[in-house]
Amino acid sequence: MTQRVGVITFPESLDDKDAVRAIQLSGSESISLWHADANLRSVYAVVLLGGFSYRDYLQCGTIEKFAPFMEKLVVAASVGLQILRICDGFQILTDSKLLLE
């Protein structure tokens, strides 16, 4: 069975297309998720990118932690959802209190 891996995109984020391609090349199914989605669509793992989302005017995690999917992501992570964080994705998880445990 092919694993479903979500790639979450924010306004102005970079490399989401590269992440989708890498997931597909690994043999997994890539599921594109928009920051305003509230449904993680039954993914096995999530790639959380950064790359100057919101044009990096503010600390991106400060804004992105309020995105609709973040509440679902926090709950899913608490029961084992795997998250690959790249660049600002690490900052988003820190600001969302996912790296404190």
Query: Rounded mean pLDDT of 36-53?
Result: 83
pTM: predicted TM-score of the whole model, two decimal places: 0.80
Tokens 């997994």, residue located: 28
In-domain check, residue 100: no
Contacts of 28 (CB under 8 A, 6+ apart): 2, 3, 4, 5, 44
The tally of CA atoms less than 13 A away on the side-chain side of residue 100 is 7
In-domain check, residue 63: yes
Number of structural domains the chain divides into: 1
In-domain check, residue 51: yes
14 pLDDT more than 70: yes
User: Can you give the residue range of the structural domain that contains 66?
Assistant: 4-95
pLDDT, tens digit (0-9, with 9 covering 90-100), for 75-101:
898 899 998 888 767 777 777 777 754
pLDDT, tens digit (0-9, with 9 covering 90-100), for 48-80:
886 655 555 556 556 677 788 888 888 898 899
Cβ atoms 50, 91 nearer than 8 A: yes
In-domain check, residue 101: no
CATH code at 85? 3.40.50.880
